[in-house]
Amino acid sequence: MKAQYINPFLNATMGLFKDFLSLEVKSGKPAILENPKDLSEVSALIGLAGETTGAVVLSFSHDTALKVVSLMTGTKYAFLGSEVLDGVGELVNIIAGNAKKDLNDFRISISLPGVITGNNYRINWPKGVPIITIPFQSSIGDFTVNVSLKEAV
């Protein structure tokens, strides 16, 4: 997948964590997600539709999910309740919505976010399109942003 389709998601994630959550994050090299089941325990996903199709999944460990939503709201959370799941969903919504600004090849709409938790789940990614995983490191834990997007013909 071309960098021009990945960079908007990388930049939107950096902007969200650095500017809004005041959290220093370091991005690693984007790579193909070889095993789509290699996601963490809490994954927020959003679908992309319109002139192309795709999906974005933001994936955290249980502990990092609690910490990131605590940062977002200023409330300390001890378990994965509805508010934490809602917060994680909102984060992927912001990443996808913000990334649209730089995806100039298509006019797309984003779905409502959903959140999956657990250790053994499978996401129905778009068929025939590689999934690119972008790793991020932060003081509250590592996480990934995973993107699958059909390229313009």
Partner 1 sequence: MKIMIVDDSEVMRRIHRNTLKEQNIPDESMLEAADGAEALKMAISEQIDLFLVDWNMPKLDGLAFVKKLRAMGSYSETPIIMITSEAAKYNVIEAITAGVTNYVVKPIRGNVLWEKISPYIGKKGWAAL
Q: Which residues bind partner 1 (CB under 8 A)?
A: 15-16, 19-21, 69, 72-74, 82-83, 86-87, 89-90, 93-101, 103, 107, 110-112
- Cα torsion at 91, 69, 25, 96 (round to 10°)? 0
What's the sign of the alpha-carbon dihedral 71, 75, 80, 83? negative
CB of 121 to partner 1, least distance (A): 22
Taking the complex as a whole, the smallest distance from the CB of residue 76 to partner 1 amounts, in Å, to 14
Rounded distance, CA 138 to CA 127, Å? 32
Cβ distance to partner 1 smaller for residue 33 or 67: 67
Residue closer to partner 1, measured from CB, 72 or 123: 72
> 30 or 87, CB closer to partner 1?
87
User: Cα torsion for 76, 69, 40, 50, to the nearest 10°?
Assistant: 160
